[in-house]
Amino acid sequence: MSIISSTSTGHATASTTTTLSQRLTAAFCASILGACLVYFAGFSHIEAVHNAAHDTRHSSAFPCH
């Protein structure tokens, strides 16, 4: 007679707590990074950078004109 042991197939979850201040800081940093990337691509004098961003906006149906 064999004994079958069942194992948990669930993922181990790490309990992480973030404060409101940490979440706001992360959101602020992400917003600043995004704004810098948009500003760089939009006002770049390098045609390759501007055209790549322009084509990406069109491919994702984002209005840019």
User: 42 lies in which domain range?
Assistant: 20-59
Whether 35 is covered by a domain: the verdict is: yes
Higher pLDDT, 64 or 22: 22
Whether 42 is covered by a domain: the verdict is: yes
pLDDT 10s digits, 8-46: 555 556 567 889 999 999 999 999 999 888 887 777 777
- Specify the 3-state DSSP secondary structure of 28: helix
How many domains are contained in the chain?
1
Higher pLDDT, 20 or 47: 20
Whether 64 is covered by a domain: the verdict is: no
Whether 2 is covered by a domain: the verdict is: no
SS3 percent helix, strand, coil of the chain, rounded to 5, is: 55, 0, 45
Is 80 exceeded by the pLDDT of residue 6?
A: no
